[in-house]
């Protein structure tokens, strides 16, 4: 690993931990993503994490709050720009959606049900994003 990669690994660790501590499983390789998508049943919340300010100040806080209201069957995350292979593999399951990070996908039995792209995160109050996501999760989870 070169000095840049080592530096970035250290910088993003707290950004990863924020979701892991909230109950998310990190998928770091394409194989992990493919295995998850092939075997997972029920509702999954997928966060495509990012180092940007809107991920830190909006997406991650909104996700953490929304899952306090409604917790889907599975919580997973991939990290754009860091785990490129995993992110590319995950995005391959909803190719009709342009790449966007941060972003949030709600899947049922491995099929995309709803997607919140960056342009519905950036510039919105965290409470609005939380309410949006909680509402979608309530509907997806039948609550």
Domain definitions of the chain by residue range:
27-142
Q: Which residues contact 70 (CB under 8 A, 6 or more apart)?
A: 134, 137, 138, 141, 143
Does residue 3 surpass a pLDDT of 80? yes
Residue 59 CB coordination number (10 Å): 28
Structure confidence by residue, pLDDT tens digits, 74-103: 999 999 989 999 999 999 999 999 999 999
pTM value is 0.94
Mean pLDDT of the chain: 94
Please say if 141 is a catalytic residue: no
27-142 maps to CATH 3.40.30.10: yes
Please name which of 90, 95, 96 lies closest in space to residue 77, comparing C-alpha atoms: 90
Burial class (CB in 10 A: 0-12, 13-18, 19+), 110: middle
Active-site residue flag, 52: yes
pLDDT computed for residue 10 by the predictor: 86
The single residue of 30, 46, 52, 104 carrying the catalytic annotation is 52
How confident is residue 109, by pLDDT bands cut at 50, 70 and 90? very high
CB-facing half-sphere around the CA of 57: CA atoms within 13 A: 7
Q: Which of 47, 54, 59, 86 is catalytic?
A: 54
Q: Does residue 6 carry a pLDDT above 90? A: no
């Amino acid at each position: 690993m070169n000095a840049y990669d080592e530096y970035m690994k250290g910088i993003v660790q707290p950004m990863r931990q924020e979701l892991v501590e909230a109950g998310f499983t990190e998928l770091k390789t394409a194989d992990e993503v493919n295995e998850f998508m092939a075997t997972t049943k029920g509702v999954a919340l997928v966060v495509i994490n990012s180092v940007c300010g809107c991920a830190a100040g909006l997406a991650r806080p909104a996700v953490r709050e929304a899952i306090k209201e409604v917790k889907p069957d599975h919580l997973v995350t991939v990290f754009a720009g860091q785990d490129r292979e995993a992110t590319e593999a995950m995005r391959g399951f909803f190719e009709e959606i342009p790449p966007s990070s941060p972003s949030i996908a709600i899947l049922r039995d491995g099929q995309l049900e709803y997607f919140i792209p960056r342009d519905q995160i950036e510039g919105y109050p965290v409470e609005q994003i939380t309410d949006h996501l909680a509402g979608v999760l309530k509907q997806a989870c039948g609550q």
